[in-house]
Structure 1
Amino acid sequence: MSSDAPVGARPPAGRTFFGHPRALSTLFLTEMWERFSFYGMRAILVLYLTATVADGGLGVGESTANAVYGTYNAMVYLMALPGGWVADRLLGARRSVLWGGVVIAAGHYVMAVPTGWSVFAGMALIVLGTGLLKPNISTMVGDLYERDSPRRDAGFSIFYMGINLGAFIAPLITGFLGEKINWHLGFGAAAVGMTFGVAQYVLGRRNLGDAGARPADPLLGADRRRALTRAGAVTAVLLVVLLGLLLTGWFTVNTVVNLLTAVTVLVTVGYFARILTDREISGTERRRMKAYVWLFVFAAAFWLIYDQAGSVLNIFAAERTDRNVAGFTFPASWLQSVNPILIIIGAPLAAWLWLRLGHRVSTPTKFAVGLVLNGLSFVLMAAAAQAAVGGDLVSPWWLVAVYAIQVAGELSLSPVGLSATTKLAPVKYASQMLGLWFLATAVGDAIGGQVARLAQNWSQSAYFLTFGLASVLLGVAAVMFTRQIRGLMAGIH
């Protein structure tokens, strides 16, 4: 997906948004409401799955619920690849974002239906819609600026605030409605949020000018028909597989989760194999991609732990923390708002720190710092779990401290990784590398969902300590191999 605007793609002149094109406000609010719906639903998903039927939940075991959660997150990021392709070759970013928002809203409305099947059907729709919206709205933000505009980075920073603002507000609303009143009412609140996002996107389209109006590299004629035929064939194969699972009695939650996990890993391996064996990329580009493989593995390992905040740590918050304040027991999902508010506070500080350090700290070293901090957060969780042995409730400040350490790790790895992705990309694959970066999260979440199954069978302190120390050791190994990885990066810092 190209983030460079085509000629004439600038929005019309007129009123501004904090000194930026007025269109940024439209995209800012669309993303804010999309993240509101995503994080609002995610904050209560595992709690709903594991709640007893008497309490309005599905009564699913913790191991299965954690795996479903991880796989759902993985699919959201995996679908960024075909979603970007659809925008680039068929619909254009603007229509992709619109249809993505409509499908996401439909998914949340389906989840609001108080039946057992609705949650899974709704998640499938949300995955498809997010794949269309998430990568392409970022492309449209890039379309608002000239390639070398000094305001471009500032515009993305404002847009990034929208992401975290939505993620901060959402659990406070959906968590209260879901946990205190009715789970499906919480899912319905997420649906209303996405509806607001779609409505203001449609009303604000006059601000967008030609940004994202046309596909960057459209398929025409026979090529278009061939692509649609292949897409139809793939869809047919998937339907046949699902039908086969139904007829054989293998269509279970665990079967689907395991199948999607395998698909995520295989797609990733195939993608890297395709790039590394491409004879059209230069030797230097191939070396840099080999370095990127290591960074990708580090990032996947990071997200494997980090994204358990909504599953294993969320269950810990519900069952093992004392959330009573002045006679009011606040919802466990409210703690899901800690990460985004800390990111809002910490992102400017991290940007200032990396600017001051310059090239004295390399990209692999920053990744290593992220892994070590992530691991230390789980070591601290092991102490919290040990304090809760015997049924004692611990202070929620344990989790706040854990999330603070994880956010410091995220700010060391996530924005740095995004920057490294653009710098290490072969010219031929430059527009696809953002999708490849999303795959790191997909792989981490998919495998993390399977790993999280162990949390139900192991003691919690052993679980957190094992994977916390593993992340720390991987971070130490990353430091040891920094010199070799920097050599493969061929002059890229």
Structure 2
Amino acid sequence: MSTSSENFFATKVMGHPAGLFVLFFTEMWERFSYYGMRAILVIFLTGVVTGDNPGWGWDKSAALSLLGTYAMFVYLTPIVGGWLADNKIGYRLAVVIGALLMTLGHASMAVETPTFLYIGIALLILGNGFFKPNMTSIISKMYEGHDDKKDGAYNIFYMGVNAGAFIGIMLCGWVGEKVGWSYGFGLAGIFMFLGMVQFYYAQPLFGDVGAKPKDEDKGIIDTLTDNLDDTKEKISGKLNKFVTIDYVLITIFVLSALIFIVNDPLSKIGNIDVLSFDIAGMTDSLFFALLAALLFIVILIVRIPRYEKVVRDRMIAFTIFCIFTIFFWAAFEQAAGSLPLYTRDFTDRLLVGNAATTFKVVDLIVTVVPLAIITYVLLSLFRQTFNRISFSNIVLGISFLIVWAIVIFKLYTEYQATETEVPVTWFAILNSLFIIIFAPLFTKWWDSKYNPPASVKYGLGLIIMAIGFGFLAFATRNVPLGASTAKLSMMWLVLAYLFHTLGELCLSPMGLSYLSKLVPARMVAFMFGVYYLAIAIGNKMAHYVGGDIEKITNESGLSYFFLIFTIVPIVLGLVSFALHPLLKRLMHGVR
């Protein structure tokens, strides 16, 4: 049965096709599982090995090295997953395969042994590669011929992303910390599985959209191949082919990057060095990381000048934005690594009396209100689609009953307690909460006549985020060298997450927007890969540097650690401002 775009719009929920909200909830459960697992991973690995809910006692550098490699692959595997879906298996099957692999990954991690931990992370990486790129591809296909509705559709979809992150961190975090780590990891797997079942049995809503591609269809891989081997594209009357030096540089770059990515966690977790040597005081991991970074720059320098002037200039501009992107995520992603460690070890989270009561009220509001709004969306979907996809809706309904049951149990347990210890993971929900609150304001800003140019947005994003780290640097100024604990106010963390989120809203949505504007259509797939590579590098760099929090704290102080993430982004933000005239010329009229 073929379902046309018009048929999609025949069944509406809140002015959009019902199928969009199936995708909304599927993505929500995937983000629930991803952020829920990530919220507890580092504090579980580095937790003390004794007590009621023991961790594994890993070194902080080892735990963050593993997290960094995982996060890096999360942004690289979608390139392969998108290729397979475009040309072989279709978007919908790719989503189901990805969800199944991630379900098995979370289940594996719940076993709590090193072997199953590594198997689980590998499955999560593979599953993410199938899942992540193909949800947005289905939306794109669904809205063909309805471009005026696309912006609203993606806004709704990304609300599902933030809703999933919010609920996942809140529930997996609380269950992991208060009940048991295995239960936290397992809970992530349960909802990933329910999300997969809900999506699979909603297939009648999608018709042929996202199905296995026909032979005559041209997918992303064709575009990607065309760009990697520019044999069909003529620039200034000549072919811009890859030549021998390009292939040599790319091969050495890939090998160097893989050696670093694999060797970094191996050396820190198992004392296994792929190539054990020292060069000028550098370990093999650091040497290959720097070599890969240098080669990446050389490849761009060698390739980009061969294009005709306008294309060349715009690609240079986009490359500069990618460099800023790397450093932004290298700082921002401390939220998954060093910040939970700071929260656990240096923040006074024990509340009594009026302070405890106030927190319970705040926690009740920020928990129940968003969940009630999402439940209303769920009921709206039920009213429109229950007859067509009843089993999918039943599974979705069961999912929400489980969520409400856990929420009620959580709130009741916290209410009964005479004193309250705020969970480490609770602060991580602030990012999603602030996005939901402030995103509409930023959207209005970007749509107004005061919409700033790209270089200013990137500069603002870097500087505003840096202010958040500045609060933490100020808060920790009196923490003695080598201190392992302190009792600092929670206010500093709230301010840090607020400014980090405001910085994210300035910079994060800009990357893909400027990619579509600056890069010729035939090169979008290739430069999409470059952009995701930049984010992947930023994620790995974040946890590579963050892993030294203990070393830096012992040698220079905790305040110095946070000053690194204050000063460097501010300097880069000012550089972005200064580059505005140059970038304006390079962009050739693109705003």
TM-score by length of 2: 0.73
Decide whether the 8 Å contact of 2:46 with 2:58 is kept in 1: yes
Pair 1:386-2:404 in alignment? no
For 1:406-445, list aligned pairs within 5 A.
406-445=500-539
Decide whether the 8 Å contact of 2:101 with 2:123 is kept in 1: yes
Larger deviation, residues 28-37 vs 47-56: 47-56
Decide whether the 8 Å contact of 2:304 with 2:316 is kept in 1: no
Pair 1:177-2:203 in alignment? no
Decide whether the 8 Å contact of 1:276 with 1:289 is kept in 2: no
Larger deviation, residues 146-155 vs 101-110: 146-155
Structure 2 CA distance for partners of 1:260 and 1:386, relative to 1, 3 Å: closer
Match of 2:43 in 1: 47
Pair 1:355-2:447 in alignment? yes
Distance in 1 (alpha carbons) for counterparts of 2:184 and 2:301: 43
Decide whether the 8 Å contact of 1:276 with 1:286 is kept in 2: no
SS at match of 1:79: helix
Superimposed CA distance per residue, residues 277-336 of structure 1 (whole angstroms, 9 cap, x where no aligned partner):
279954311211111111001011000010111111111111111222330212101111
Match of 2:579 in 1: 481
Match of 2:249 in 1: none
Decide whether the 8 Å contact of 2:105 with 2:120 is kept in 1: yes
Distance in 2 (alpha carbons) for counterparts of 1:479 and 1:94: 43
Match of 1:339 in 2: 431
Match of 1:455 in 2: 549
Structure 2 CA distance for partners of 1:170 and 1:438, relative to 1, 3 Å: same
Amino acid paired to 2:585: G
Match of 1:252 in 2: 270
Match of 2:143 in 1: 145
Mark the runs of 5 or more structure 2 residues left unpaired by the alignment.
Answer: 226-254, 275-282, 357-418
TM-score by length of 1: 0.87
Mark the runs of 5 or more structure 1 residues left unpaired by the alignment.
Answer: 1-5, 224-236
Decide whether the 8 Å contact of 1:11 with 1:210 is kept in 2: no
Structure 2 CA distance for partners of 1:26 and 1:86, relative to 1, 3 Å: same
Structure 2 CA distance for partners of 1:265 and 1:168, relative to 1, 3 Å: farther
SS at match of 1:150: helix
Decide whether the 8 Å contact of 1:11 with 1:207 is kept in 2: no
Structure 2 CA distance for partners of 1:106 and 1:267, relative to 1, 3 Å: farther
For 1:31-430, list aligned pairs within 5 A.
31-54=27-50, 55-147=53-145, 149-215=147-213, 217=218, 252=270, 266=292, 273=299, 277=303, 282-325=308-351, 326=356, 327-358=419-450, 361-386=452-477, 388-389=479-480, 391-430=485-524
Distance in 2 (alpha carbons) for counterparts of 1:267 and 1:212: 37
Structure 2 CA distance for partners of 1:126 and 1:268, relative to 1, 3 Å: farther
Cα deviation for residue 115 of structure 1 reads 1.6
Larger Rg: 2
Match of 1:19 in 2: 15
Amino acid paired to 2:558: Q
Cα deviation for residue 447 of structure 1 reads 1.2
Structure 2 CA distance for partners of 1:105 and 1:14, relative to 1, 3 Å: same
Superimposed CA distance per residue, residues 225-269 of structure 1 (whole angstroms, 9 cap, x where no aligned partner):
xxxxxxxxxxxx99x999x99xx9999377589869968994996
SS at match of 1:395: coil
More contact order relative to length (CA 8 Å, sep ≥ 6): 1
SS at match of 2:152: helix
Amino acid paired to 2:549: A
Decide whether the 8 Å contact of 2:9 with 2:16 is kept in 1: no
Decide whether the 8 Å contact of 1:382 with 1:464 is kept in 2: yes
SS at match of 2:147: coil
Structure 2 CA distance for partners of 1:60 and 1:137, relative to 1, 3 Å: same
Identical columns (%): 33
Larger deviation, residues 112-121 vs 261-270: 261-270
Match of 1:3 in 2: none
Structure 2 CA distance for partners of 1:133 and 1:276, relative to 1, 3 Å: farther
Structure 2 CA distance for partners of 1:295 and 1:24, relative to 1, 3 Å: same
Larger deviation, residues 339-348 vs 139-148: 139-148
Distance in 1 (alpha carbons) for counterparts of 2:294 and 2:530: 8
